Amino acid sequence: AQRVTQPEKLLSVFKGAPVELKCNYSYSGSPELFWYVQYSRQRLQLLLRHISRESIKGFTADLNKGETSFHLKKPFAQEEDSAMYYCALSGVYNTDKLIFGTGTRLQVFP
């Protein structure tokens, strides 16, 4: 079964600390993985996708097929990073439909 697991509901760090939001997936084929961010009372926005191998707002994520993980990392958290983060998966041959994890709320304290 296709599934995305985000084990942490809440992650609290101080400004300047490193951040790692965990995401594990199960999928029988070769998935595409995404991270979405939702700031308070706003719409979800695409943060990054693994195929782009990009860094957005200082965040990076590497797809580890051996560990079936796609953890989101940032070396130095900022207060404006406080938001809800969702990991999502889509299949290569059905690329439009997404399966979301339950989300991790990141709180960055000053």
Site residues for other proteins per CB under 8 A: 6, 9, 32, 34, 42-46, 49, 51, 86, 90, 95-98, 100-103
Q: How far is the CB of 66 from other proteins (least distance, A)?
A: 23
Q: Specify the residue, 60 or 91, whose C-beta has the smaller distance to other proteins.
A: 91
Going by C-alpha positions, the residue among 6, 12, 8 that lies closest to residue 107 is 12
For other proteins, the closer CB: 3 or 75 = 3
Give Cβ neighbours of residue 67 (< 8 Å, ≥ 6 apart). Answer: 24
**CB nearer other proteins, residue 43 or residue 110:** 43
Nearer to other proteins by Cβ, of 12 and 95: the residue is: 95
Using DSSP bridges, classify how beta strands 19-21 and 72-74 pair: parallel, antiparallel or unpaired.
antiparallel
Minimum CB–partner distance for residue 109 and other proteins (Å): 22
Taking the complex as a whole, how short is the minimal distance between the CB of residue 16 and other proteins, in angstroms? 29
Rounded to a whole number of angstroms, the minimum distance from the CB of residue 15 to other proteins is 26
